Structure 1
């Protein structure tokens, strides 16, 4: 069953964040992830305006997301992000079949 990682990021050092952006895709791809969106145009339809960068990545399953997040490759990316941004990373299980 697919799983999704949703990241909401407040970038505090754009130059250093570029280093993170160069490292993260390597780990994402290695562990079976694929970007569904990566900081594109965004509009809040309801609730407080979202001003953070939003990234959604699809993985084959929850185990793959956890393997990615704990991997040596992503630990290197997280270290690069440490002083460049603050974020919230949520993972959730997808549907095994469409509802309709």
Structure 2
């Protein structure tokens, strides 16, 4: 079954966040992530959720998604993001 990483990002320093985007893109490519959503228009249909910048990544398996998150490549991106954004992220098993 596929694995998905779903993130809601609050960007606090857009200039510094560009470094994170560069390193995270490289990590996604290295780990075979399929970018399903990366920013773009979002509209709440139900509930009180107020997402800001949504990201959805698809991986071949749940384990592959977790491996991406734990990888040195994404660790470099995570370090670049310090002070530039607040990340809320989950991994979920797909069908």
Superposed pair shares fold, TM > 0.5: yes
Alignment-derived partner of residue 60 in structure 1: 60
Unpaired stretches in structure 2, ≥5 consecutive residues: none
1:44 match: 44
Q: Give runs of aligned pairs for residues 73-88 of structure 1, distance below 5 A.
A: 73-88=73-88
| Distance in 1 of aligned mates of 2:51 and 2:73 | 28
1:71 aligns with: 71
- What is the SS of the residue equivalent to 1:22? helix
SS in 2 for 1:10: strand
Q: How far is 1:82 from its partner?
A: 1.2
Aligned residues: 95
| RMSD, aligned CA | 1.0
| Residues in 2 aligned to 1:21 and 1:40: alpha-carbon distance in whole angstroms | 15
Evaluate the alpha carbon distance shift between residue 12 and residue 3 of structure 1 in structure 2; reply closer, same or farther with a 3 A threshold. Answer: same
Spell out, residue by residue over 1:30-76, the C-alpha distance to the aligned partner (whole angstroms, 9 max, x if none).
11211001001111111125242100000000111111111111100
Partner of 2:92: 92
**Consecutive aligned runs of 4 or more in structure 1 exceeding 4 Å deviation:** none
Q: What residue is the counterpart of 1:14 in the other structure? A: 14
Pairwise CA distance, 1:23: 0.9
